[in-house]
Homo-oligomer: A and B are copies of this chain.
């Protein structure tokens, strides 16, 4: 997250990143090497810093501890970037303004992110601060939403289904194809069309396949083909039941 966010800010707000913290100084330096004028550090003491905003980009469970150890100039703004943790987790830091700055995207170091299209979900506990954060977010993206702590949790859960789990279905499909030396790429147009349709017509309206048309013979044949993995059979059966529940519900 820090890797992509720092570079996005540096790109649109030149020389805007002043310091990069990591527990490991050499990791911090890998990022500062990509930036114009930022200093790497492994100390959480920013009391002398001229920075106006501090981003906490650490694993969810480390946020509280980092927040407790931070030393900051009074009046600066501290935000975390987590989809699951509430704003209030930062209440522990006294004398500063707090917020949440959650880019709804999947990050891996190896792949550059085009932030323009990433929705950034913001939360602040005062109106004046919302304006400041909105302005900040708009410097790197075009799509900003205010989402409170509860809704952000719901959004994160939805993203787990729509992205993490969908990606795992792609892995399962790839593994099924590999057994017969078939190339996963053959599914690309179909998957892309599925996504396009889901947003054009609504996914509930474009559901197709054996479950949706209650094609019992094909369902049984598929379960038989999956005999070597009871977990895959169970996923197939659950997804089929769930499609049928919502499909017939939609038609009632």
Contacts and interface: CB of A to CB of B under 8 A. Distances in A.
A38 B153 CA distance: 56
Contacts of A241: 231
Contacts of A60: 215, 217-218
Interface stretch (A6-14, A29-37, A87-95, A103-111): A103-111
A74 interface: no
B84 A155 contact: no
A150 interface: yes
Contacts of A225: 153-154, 157
Given A166-B170, A239-B165, A239-B168, A189 B158 contact: no
Interface in A43-102: 59-61, 84
Task: Say how many copies of this protein the assembly contains.
Answer: 2
B166 A191 contact: yes
A160 B222 contact: yes
Interface of A: 59-61, 84, 104-108, 110-111, 113, 117-119, 143, 145, 147, 150-151, 153-155, 157-177, 179-180, 182, 184-195, 197-204, 206-213, 215, 217-218, 221-222, 225-226, 231-232, 234-236, 238-239, 241-243, 245-246
27 contacts: A61-B217, A108-B208, A113-B193, A117-B189, A147-B182, A150-B180, A154-B177, A154-B180, A155-B182, A158-B174, A158-B187, A159-B190, A160-B210, A163-B194, A166-B191, A167-B197, A167-B198, A168-B207, A169-B169, A170-B198, A171-B246, A174-B202, A174-B203, A188-B199, A191-B198, A231-B241, A235-B235
